[in-house]
Structure 1
Amino acid sequence: MFADDCLMFFRANPDQATVIKNAISVFEKGSGQLLSVNKCSLLFSENCPEANQQAVRQIMEVVCDTFEDRYLGYPTPEGRMNKGKLQPSKDHLSKKLNNWVEKLMSTGAKDELIKSVAQAIPIHVMSTFKLPAGFHEDYMKQDASPSWHGTEHGITLIKEGIVSRIGNGKDVNIWRDNWLPRDYSLKVTHGKSRTRIRRVNQLLQPDGKSWNEVLVRKVCYSNDAECILNLKLPEHPCDDFVAWHYDPSGIFSVKSAYRLAYNLKNGVRWRAENSGEPDSSTKIWKITWRANVPKKVRIFGWRVACDNLATKRNKLRRTLEMDSICNICGREEEDNYHATVKCTKSSALIYEMRNTGTSRQNVRSHILELIGSRTYLSTRTKFKGAKC
C-alpha cells in the first residue's frame, strides 16, 4: 500500500504461515531491517477454522487480528467499501470550502483554487480504492456551482423529453428507450411476459412495413399495444432518429423545456400536440411583447400577466407583510386586479387616460386580458398599448 508497508495474502494454515515466516526472516537477515510485530495485524476470513487461526498466530507471533479502522487518514480495505467509509474525504472538502467562503477572492481565483485543491483531494483515494457508486456524484455536489446544477437539471429534462422516431427499428430498445408518443410515460411497461425480444424491429412483419399485431399484444399490455399499433411506419426504408416530444416540429426549444420543467414540478400533464395551437397562451405573449409602447410598459404588462407585481398579497405570501390590505384605499386585498383596476389611484389614472383619448373600457379590457392570461383565458381584444 505504501513505501514502507506490505500487504500479503496466504492461505490460513500452518504450512503457508511457515513459508511466509521464513521469507520474512530471509528479508530481515539480508536487509538488516527487523519486522515490528506490534504494528502487524492478521485478518482471517469468517470461514477460517479457529484452530487454524490459533496456529497461524503462534507461527507469525502476531497478537492483533483486526485492522485499524483508519490508516493514514483513509479506511482500511476490509470488507465491502461503501460511501460511509469514504466520508472523511467529503468532510475534508467541506472544511476547505467553508474556509474559502470567508476569503476575499475573485470568481476566477476561487475557480482555480477548486481545480488545484478540491479535485486533488480524492486522487489518492481513487488510486487506492475502487470508489462505490454514488460517491462521485455526492462529492461533486459539494463544490458544484449553480451553473453546473442547472446543466444537470437540463440534462434530466432532455432525457425526459427525447423520443425515438421509428424507422427500421434496429436502434431502439423496446423496454429502455422513449419511443411511445403519448401524454404520459414514453416507455413501454415491462413485465407482461418473459421474452427475449429487445429491439423494435423484432415487433415488425418481415417486410418491415407493418406491425406484427399478434406478437405486440402478446408481449405488451393493452394500453401500450394500442399505442404501438397506432404508430405509422415510414413508407420507405430509413434509420431511427431522435426528436423532441414536446414540440409538434420535433425540434428542441428552450420554451418547451421550460414548460416541461414547470409541469413536472407541479405534477401537470402537458399534451405535447397542444403546445403550438393558436388559442393557447402564446398569443397573449406575442401581443404583449410586440406592442408599440415603451419597453418598461411591456415589462409591466408581462409582470401583470405573471402575477409578479409587488402587491401586498404577493408580499404576504413571502412573509414580507403582516397583512394584504391595500395601504392606499384600505378597502380590500391588494392583488393584481385591485392594484391595476379597482384601487382609487388606479381608477383615477384610468379616468385621466380617458381624457387623453383612450377609452376607459379599452384600458380595463387590456388589463383584464393580461391578468386572465395566467389561467390561459381566450383573448378577445388586441393589446394596442395605452398612452401614458
Structure 2
Amino acid sequence: MRLVYEQISEAEMIFGMPLGLRNVPDKLVWHFTKNGTYSVKSGYWVARDMMSRQHADRARSSTNGCKEVWEKIWGINAPHKIKVFMWRAVKGFLPCATNLKQKKILEDSRCWQCGWNNESVMHVLWDCLKVKKIWKKTFLQGVCRVWQEPTFLDLVHHICSTATRSELETFCFTAWWIWRNRNLHRYEEKSLEPEEVA
C-alpha cells in the first residue's frame, strides 16, 4: 500500500513540474560530445570506458577474494616452500610447458604426462587425467571430475571457501607433490604411483 502511495506522489510531482514557456520540440542529444551529436568515435570511447570500468570492478572484487585466499594459504601449517609453491601456482608462475613455450624455450606445449592437452598450470595440477587419479585418493575424490574451474586461482578460491584448514593443507601438499612428481617424470624419468603422491 505504501509503495503505491509513494508512486502516486512521485507521479503527481512529475506532472506538477513546469515545462517551460517556449514550445520547443524534443530532440535527441548525445551528452558524451560537446556539440551533442553522436559519432562512431565517441561511441567507441564510451564503450571502451565502460569495459575498462567493468574490468576494474572485477579486478577489485577478485582482489578482495584473493586476500582471503592468501590469508588462508599463508596460515596453513606447512613449510614455507609449500606456501611459495602455491603462490607461484596461483599466479601462473610455474614453468609448465605453456609458459615455457610463450618464452620461446619450448616448441611444444603438450602435457608431458598425458601428451594430449596444453600443459597449463591448471592442467598439470588439476585437469590432467593422470593427476585426476591422484586427486581421487584425497578428500576431493567426489568432486575432482565435477569441478571445472577456468584457472588455478578459481580452484584454490573454491577450495578455500569449502574446505577445512586440514583439507586445505592436504590440498596444498598434494598439489606440491603432483608438481614434484611431474618433474621427476620429466627430468629423471621416474614416477610415483598415485597412492604415493596422495
- The TM-score with structure 2 as length reference comes to 0.44
Q: Which has the higher helix share?
A: 2
Bigger relative contact order, structure 1 or 2 (CA pairs below 8 A, ≥6 apart): 2
Determine which structure has more spread, i.e. the larger CA radius of gyration: 1
